[in-house]
Amino acid sequence: MIEQRPFPLQLLEQSLSEKLAYFKNITVGHNNLQRVVNELRINILEPSDTSVFIIIGVTGVGKTTLRKRLEKILVDDLLEHLLSNPGQIAVASLEAIPPTNSKFDHADYYIKALEALNEVLIKYKVDYDIPNAKSQDSKSSDSSFSKNTSSLRRSMEKVFINRQLRAFMVDEAQHLFATAGGHQLLSQMNWIKSLANITKTVHILFGTYELLNCSTVSGQIGRRSEDIHISRYHKNCQEDVKEFNRIIRILEGHLPLLKKPQLEKHSEYLIDYSVGCVGSLKSWLVRALRNCIENNDMTLTSKHLKKTELSPSRRKQIREEAKAGEKRFAVLTKDDDISATDVQTQQTTQSNSRNQAVGQRNPMRDTVGNESV
C-alpha cells in the first residue's frame, strides 16, 4: 500500500514531463524568504518616502520565488478592491534582459512593461510630440511605430496611474545597469526613481550583489531607496540547519515517486553543496528527480544526488560570490558615522595644531608658588 502523500496519487501514473512540472511548481515558505516578504508587503500597502527597494542575494537564493510569492500575497490582500474596481491591477512584473549593445534600450523596456500590464494597441500609442532626439533615454528605430521613447514612457506612466498599480517588480535587475559606468549608474537610478515618483508606484528590483552599487551613487537616491538582503542558510548555524532540514522534509514529500525519499539524512551534504540556497536545492532536486524517473527507480537516493550535483568549480564560484557579497553588504550597512560634535572637535584640534608655530609648546597650566610647600 502506498503511503499518504501531499500530491494526487494519480500523478504517479503520469508522464515524466507532468511529474517534473508538478514538482517545479512547488514553493516552500521559509524564514529568510518570509522575513523579506513581510517587510516588502507593509511597505507596499502602507508606503513611506521609500519608493525603490533593491532586493539582493546570491544566485539560487530564491529571488524569483520571492517575487512570485509576493505577487500572490498582494493580489490576495487587495482582492476586495480589485473586485470592486475591475480596471485596477495590483502588481505587475517583468524580467530585465541584458543589453545587446553598449546602450540600454529604454523603449524596449517600456514596451515590455506595457505588455506585462496586458495593455492593448501598444503599437498605436499616441505620440505626445516630444522629439526623439531630446529624450535622454531614446534610441533610434526604423519601424514605423517605434515612436519616440518619450511618448512610450508617457504611455507607460499613464497606464501605471490609471490602473492604480501598487507595485512594479523587475527580476534580474542587474541587467538594467550592465553597461553603466559611474555617471550612467546615477542616470539609470534617477530614471527608476523618477518612474516611481511620477506614477506613485513602488518599484522593486531583484538581482545579484551587483545592485549594491545602486544605492550609494547619491544621497538623494540613498534616501529614496532601501537595500534588503535575502540571506542563505549556513551549515555552522544551528537555527539555519534546523530550518533547512524542515525545507528538505517538505520538498521530499512532494517528489512524485512510488516511495518517499529519505533526504534529511543527507542534510549536511545538501546544505553544503547547495551553498545554503533553497533555489539551488530545488533545482538540484528537479535534476535528481528526472534522473531517478529515467532510470525507473522507485525512490530518489544519494546516487541520483551525486549524479546531478553542481560541479566543484561551479559551487566554488557561487560560494565565493556569496561570501564577497555578504561581506560587502555588511560593510555598507555598518554604522560608521561620526557625530557632528566629534567631527567639529577633531577639526578644531587639527586646525590648532596646524596654526601652532614651530617650537611653541602646547597650552598648559603653570605651577604657581613654591612646589615643595
What's the pLDDT score for residue 2? Answer: 60
pLDDT score recorded for residue 101: 77
pLDDT given for residue 121 in this prediction: 54
Q: Where does residue 165 rank: exposed (0-12), middle (13-18), buried (19+ CB within 10 A)?
A: buried
| pLDDT above 50: residue 369 | no
Query: Mapping DSSP to helix (H, G, I), strand (E, B) and coil, where does residue 261 land?
Result: coil
Checking if the pLDDT of 119 tops 80, the result is no
Q: What is the dihedral of CA 116, 117, 118, 124, to 10 degrees?
A: -100
| pLDDT tens by residue, 266-294 | 999 999 999 999 999 999 999 999 999 99
Cell 605651577 sits at which residue? 367
CA distances from 366 to 164, 349, 352 (A): 75, 21, 20
Query: Could you tell me if 253 and 33 are in contact, meaning their C-beta atoms sit under 8 angstroms apart?
Result: no
Task: Output the pLDDT for position 20.
Answer: 97
Task: Tell me the β-bridge partners of 225.
Answer: 52
DSSP SS3 for 338: coil
Q: Report whether pLDDT(302) > 80.
A: yes
Rounded Cα–Cα distance for residues 44 and 92 (Å) = 13
pTM score, whole prediction: 0.81
Q: Give me the chain's average pLDDT, please.
A: 85
Strand order in the sheet with 202-207: 91-95, 167-171, 202-207, 52-56, 225-229
pLDDT in tens, 50-103: 999 999 999 999 999 999 999 999 999 999 999 999 899 999 999 999 888 778
Domains for the chain: give ranges and CATH numbers: 32-229 (3.40.50.300), 234-332 (no CATH)
Contact 273, 254 (CB under 8 A): no
CA-to-CA distance for 322 and 196, rounded, in angstroms? Answer: 30
DSSP output for 108-168: HHHHHHHHHTT-S-GGGPPP-S--GGG-TT-----STT---HHHHHHHHHHHHHHTT--EE
Helix (H) or strand (E) holding 202: strand 202-207
pLDDT of residue 356: 53
How many whole angstroms separate alpha carbon 89 and alpha carbon 91?
6
